[in-house]
Structure 1
């Protein structure tokens, strides 16, 4: 009895079993964390990778190429192939908008890819997303000076920037477009049909 109390006190008490959902999440996290990252991509490697893993493989490879030089990131991306630029810019825009809307996309350094993403969506055949991004770029340009007033590095100002922001109405349109054209499927299709634009031999 005393021993049990001591073990419990020092954290040796038996931990509750994880649910199947938690076990599955741990498994996915471990697989992602231990994924193979290619510094060089050949056509043979790309053809051997499943569609489920293709986009992450391309992203990792581009990141290996450009590294952590954030100040020159845009210039480095502009040196890549048309396909790589389309992939990177649309991936970045999609992630930012899904996380915090178009306002977050432009508020963060990701906004530097606004024009490239517009062209990138056209490149992969996501015409509806291209049109929406064109509209978003236009609205942002018209409101850039006003929105810049909130860019003081604080979360409070960032939150305030959403109030009466004309970009907000585009977020719902973006989310609904996913039912009409899948960016992921179009990116994968483009990669498969333009393998040479993604090889880094």
Structure 2
């Protein structure tokens, strides 16, 4: 239990950079790089969730790739593609295709294209579950063709971890993440 407490304490007390320089990024270990980038992006755009997507669109191509693919990964790992589209993160669906391609995660890009195609075909059917209740949300998973893509995503991430694509891209395109 002490390890878990230390983890949360370290997370709460992590350094959040308002500005990132090549020197700072060079010194951040790979296992902390994504959180550093995520924190910095939200320092830039703020926590204005109503305008989040518009603010992300103003970022560099690399930052957009990072945010969109990070959100897909977080949502799919938490509740599958169904959850991704159900939540506000779904607005990043097409940006994520570009994001996966940008960071070189081409199999994830193809999977995202397939998810977008399926979602477009069932979107009107899913709208009946959008009444803000947990019961309806749970019902939306029944016979949902997006569920089939979840395992493909997990298997692909196991074979080629998504975080490695993003870290490699950040390291090779550091100028996309420098802030002033």
Q: TM-score, normalised by structure 2?
A: 0.98
Q: Does 1:159 align with 2:128?
A: no
Partners in 2 of 1:181 and 1:120 — Cα distance? 16
Match of residue 113 from structure 1: 92
Q: For structure 2, which runs of at least 5 residues remain unmatched after alignment? A: none
Partners in 2 of 1:66 and 1:175 — Cα distance? 30
Give the structure with the larger helix fraction. 2
Match of residue 108 from structure 2: 129
Q: Does 1:144 align with 2:123?
A: yes
Match of residue 162 from structure 2: 183
Structure 1 stretches (4+) deviating beyond 2 angstroms? none
Match of residue 25 from structure 1: 4
Q: Give the C-alpha shift of residue 179 in structure 1.
A: 2.4
Q: Does 1:198 align with 2:167?
A: no
Q: TM-score, normalised by structure 1?
A: 0.88
Partners in 1 of 2:41 and 2:158 — Cα distance? 28
Partners in 2 of 1:180 and 1:30 — Cα distance? 32
SS in structure 2 at match of 1:149: helix
The root-mean-square deviation of aligned C-alpha atoms, in Å, is 0.6
Q: For structure 1, which runs of at least 5 residues remain unmatched after alignment? A: 1-21
Choose which of 53, 66, 84 in structure 2 pairs with 1:74.
Answer: 53
SS in structure 1 at match of 2:129: coil
Structure 1 or 2, whichever has the larger Rg, is 1
Partners in 2 of 1:30 and 1:72 — Cα distance? 30
